[in-house]
Structure 1
Amino acid sequence: MTIDARRRRVVLALGAALPLAAMGAPCETAPAWADQLRRELDEMASHLTRTLQPWPVPPRVFVPESYGLAKDALATAAIQRAVDACASAGGGTVRLAGGDYVSGTIDLRSGVMLEIAAGSRLLASTNLADYPTRHARRSTVMDSNMGMHQSLIFAEGCERVGLCGKGTIDGRGTPDNFPGEETTGATPGRPFLIRMLDCRHVVIRDLRMRDSPCWMQNYLNCEDLIVDGIHVENQANHNNDGLDIDGCRRVIVRNTFINAEDDGLCFKGASQRNGEQILVENCEFYSSCNALKFGTDSQGDFRNVLVRHVVLGGPAATMRAAKRRKADGGISWESVDGGTVERILVHDVQIVRSESPLFLILSDRGRVRPGQSKPPAGRLRHIVYDRITGDDNGMRGSFFTAIPERPIENVLLRDVALTMAPAPGPAPDAAAVPDGRGLYPDPHMFAPVMPASGLWARNVRNLTLQRVRFTTTGQDARPALIAPAACRLG
């Protein structure tokens, strides 16, 4: 099914009003802040759509065949010479249109659009020696804590740069080619496919990408970033994220399909820069970890984000899956390293095959670069879920949790209908569920099942539910909803 067809299905499925989740004082209208947020983010999306356009690529075309490409030889040097010549001429397109090109690290330059044409493939070398280290000029948590210094395509400090085409970038990143353990830290020996740092006017469109040895792509502290029409299959190795956007401003992600072993679309704050003015629309994100996420690195702030007309969750039976077919989290917004996460609206979204369709956490892990002081806990506030539906989900349940001294603030669920699998046995003791201090903040770190089958909320201030329904496909001893006494129901 196409992305547009799935989007129409999502909208139609959410057309009818939904019954109440629980009895309570009626709440006929949404909080004023939520309606104001909707107006402001709609205007932001309109402004981004009008003004954030692909940069004009000069009509010059360069091909590696003109720069010493030898048949059946490693193409790295010839492609790099074409890139350098293109940049020196004032920019243009470097086109790979001659079939398969096997390459190690390529350094993109300002003004260069690298095109992999239809019927052609850029194949990552399987020799780790072909990926020399690229240490960032401005060190971030990604460098000091994660040790990620190798990639197939690298750009730093560039303006007007990108990749396009109807061809394929294949990382050939299977464990046979790039062995390594799954980790939340450094991943030596497993390069990224694409890494762009401190760049402006970045365009990634139309390509197919598959099988990175590690993360597929990472855009860190970039401005004016467009990701449009890409198809990502990253189910070949550990830590196979689909798309990581870290501390970027003015961003559009649209018409994109991702199936990832690790996080699908993951926003981060490890750059210690703010991520803001972000529009995500008409996409599909599937993951065995978190389908759509901010975190776990949340050192920078994340705000003014609109997500609409998206299908997300775990990979279906017809898709590749290196692990489980249930996503750990559907939509996961996490602040554990001092950042403020606020002003986020998600509407017209379908969540399928997820153990915890909705997950919010505010805690105080405080991961920073060596020598930096641990920051105080951040903020998580002004979060809206509007017209959310989903089925074939797991049994853990959605949950919102914060440390008592820093509650989550101002959350609205409106027109939400989620169906979960039933959990066997009695409801767990809520007091036994940890508050996340010091934990890696993924949903599975807390408990196999939550005290409520639909939504369990702890330390949340100003939580409003309107026309919300949580159901299970069989008998479940847990209540559907456990929320603070001040929760407004309607």
Structure 2
Amino acid sequence: MKIGDLSCRPEPIRLFLAVILCCGASGATFADEAFVDIRHFGAKPDGTTLCTEAIQRAIDSAAARGGGTVRFPPGKWRSGTIVLRSDVTLSLEEGCTLLGSGDLKDYPRHQPKIRSCADQYVNQSLILGEDLDRVAIRGRGCIDGNGKAFPGDDWPNRPFVIRLINCRDVLVEDVTLHNSAMWMQLYSVCDRVTVRGVTLFNHQKHHADGINIDGCHDVIISDCRFDCDDDGICLKSMSSRACENVTINNCHISSHCNAIKMGTHSLGGFKSIIISNCCIVSPRFSKVMLGRQRGTSGISLEIVDGGDMDRITISNIVMRGVSVPLFIRLGDKGRVVEPGTPKPPVGTLRNVICSNIVATEMSPIGCAITGLPGHLVEDVTLSNLHFSFEGGVQEARNQHPIPELPATYPECIMFGTLPAYGLWCRHVKGLRLINVRLRAASPDLRPAVVCDDVHDLDIGGLDVRISPGAESGVRLIDVNRAIIRGCQPDGSASAFLGVEGKASDRIALMGNDLRGVRRTHVQGEEVGDTAVRAIGNLMVPPNQ
């Protein structure tokens, strides 16, 4: 319906608009001028004419009137960097494509006022905004970054598609985003950002992330469909400002790397993050530029440059075919904003709850939750998880110590194939595994769960498959204060639980159905005689 067409409006609204029109020409003129058409400023929809100046004049004209909507009608509009203004909406109509210029000279460098680690990478963008209020990019049209026009992997010569810095009340809605030369979207130090209903396909370049949220507060990402070569949704903290109060829900994500990730940059940390109701699958696009065809991880939580991760909930997620469903890492890479500044201390990672996650067709690698000696991951709860792995590893890997690798780039493949086919947890305090089901599709001689230097361990209702020839279903190394209850392993082994390490103590095995194994537990000679107590477990009588 066009402006001024009142036939479908309710009577009160019709009367209100009629009063405005009767009060003088100024009201009608403002209504007309609230929409600015880029064609009126000389833009041509032929895909070859450079429309940067025309589009910028349209944006500036709308801003000069106190704000408005800049219309991109159907057609292909070629442009270099355009700069948003406060109170301006870009409206991309169906059939419209905003095409990034293939000439780097059309993207002037911009040094943000707020310094961050991103300054070391890229300072050019197709759509740019800094220090703005109430800006939006909406519509059924497409923004194509023309990434193929920027050959090579030289970071400084590959523009972002959308970059907003220190903006408030940002809305990106319903648009289609294609083919960035670098990260598709970067929102840095912004407040109240909503990205909703966005469809994104990004497989033309290395490091082709879908969206990066850097040090932003009050963010909603919902109802989006992302298919990327690199990370799908990535939260970062590249300055001292935390990512805080972020909700990610109802999204469909495919990535050759990490579907949803926090890190690796973590200077300011991540606090109060909710991830829910998402579907994660392997990309259909077969050409891999970075990562793996199947995807590296479903969800990765990483603190390696200092900073604190706190109050994270992840729930109602389904995954299929990625390498690893969950990776949690506290490390010490220690990058800084500017060269010469002090290295940040090791950060903290605590209060993480993951629940109601189903992941199938996972690789044999296994999941890792790891801190560092003296720097423990704290208070992690995994509940109602069903993880199915390929399995097939035919050695227990007990004799292969895993190095700490504190400064290594964090990713789920950093330790190689893990000592557990399901969950390997090291340097953790306050770990709860409740109603967790782990399966290996092919016989695997590794335990389902290995905990090393874990304190305050609670395992309840664990359902694991133990392959013939495996030494145990659960292996504890230097674990102090643990209770294992209500478990019912599937398969056979010499024992359900294996305990090692001089520090192992105060371990209780209670009320488990262990009729599929020969013994409740075995323990190394170095383990104290009273370190493990088995009480009220159901076993097959020896003569049966």
Q: TM-score, normalised by structure 1?
A: 0.84
Distance (whole Å) between structure 2 residues aligned to residue 282 and residue 340 of structure 1: 26
Give the drift of 1:346: 0.5
Matched, 1:489 2:459: yes
SS of structure 2 residue aligned to 1:459: strand
One-letter amino acid of the counterpart of residue 155, structure 2:
T
How do residues 12-411 of structure 1 correspond to structure 2 at under 5 angstroms? 60-70=34-44, 72=46, 73-143=49-119, 146-174=120-148, 177-181=149-153, 187-315=155-283, 317=284, 322=289, 324-368=292-336, 369-411=338-380
What does the per-residue CA deviation read over 1:28-50, in whole Å, with 9 as the maximum and x for residues that have no partner? xxxxxxxxxxxxxxxxxxxxxxx
Structure 1 unpaired stretches of 5+: 1-56
Kept after mapping to 2: 8 A contact 1:386/1:414: yes
Q: For residues 319 and 224 of structure 1, do their structure 2 counterparts lie closer, same or farther at Cα, with a shift above 3 Å needed?
A: farther
Distance in 1 (alpha carbons) for counterparts of 2:32 and 2:185: 25
1:260-298 C-alpha deviation (Å, 9 max, x unpaired): 111110000003211111111111111111111100000
Structure 2 residue aligned with 1:471:
439
Going from structure 1 to structure 2, the CA distance change for 1:251 and 1:110 (only over 3 Å counts) comes to same
SS in 1 for 2:195: strand
Cα distance change on mapping 1:92 and 1:456 into 2, 3 Å: same
Which AA in structure 2 matches 1:454? G
Q: Following the alignment from structure 1 to structure 2, what is the Cα–Cα distance between the partners of residues 395 and 103? A: 46
Write 1 or 2 for the structure with the bigger share of strand: 2
TM-score of the superposed pair, with normalisation by structure 2: 0.75
CA contact (8 A) 2:45 2:76 kept: no
- Aligned pair count reads 424
Flag the 1:433–1:200 CA change in 2: closer, same or farther, 3 A: same
Q: CA deviation at 1:432?
A: 3.3
Consecutive unaligned residues of structure 2, counting only runs of 5 or more, are 1-30, 461-544
Q: Structure 1 residues 214 and 271 mapped into 2: Cα distance closer, same or farther (>3 Å)?
A: same
Instruction: Considering Cα pairs closer than 8 Å and 6+ residues apart, tell me whether 1 or 2 has the greater RCO.
Output: 1
8 Å CA contact retained: 2:429, 2:455: no
CA RMSD of the aligned region, Å? 1.8
* Residue 98 of structure 1, CA deviation: 3.5
Q: Tell me, yes or no, if the aligned pair for 1:325 and 1:353 is still in contact at 8 Å.
A: no
Counterpart for residue 11 of structure 1: none
**Within 2, Cα distance between the matches of 1:80 and 1:115?**
14
1:420 paired residue number: 389
1:456 to 424, 428, 438: 424
Cα distance per residue 1:341-379 (max 9 Å; x no partner): 010001110122222211111111110122321111010
Residue 476 of structure 1: SS of its match in structure 2? coil
Three-state SS of the structure 2 residue aligned to 1:66 is helix
Q: Which amino acid is the alignment partner of residue 178 of structure 1?
A: F
Equivalent residue of 2:118, what SS? Answer: helix
Q: Which amino acid aligns with 2:228?
A: A
Q: Which one of 398, 403, 413 corresponds to residue 444 of structure 1? A: 413
Q: Distance in 2 between matches of 1:96 and 1:418?
A: 46
Structure ID, larger Rg = 2
Residue 275 to residue 430, structure 1, CA distance change in 2 (3 Å): farther
Contact 1:417 1:468 in 2 (8 A): yes
Change in Cα spacing, 1:61 to 1:278, as seen in structure 2 (3 Å) is same
Q: Which amino acid aligns with 2:81?
A: T
Q: What amino acid is aligned across from residue 180 of structure 1 in structure 2?
A: G
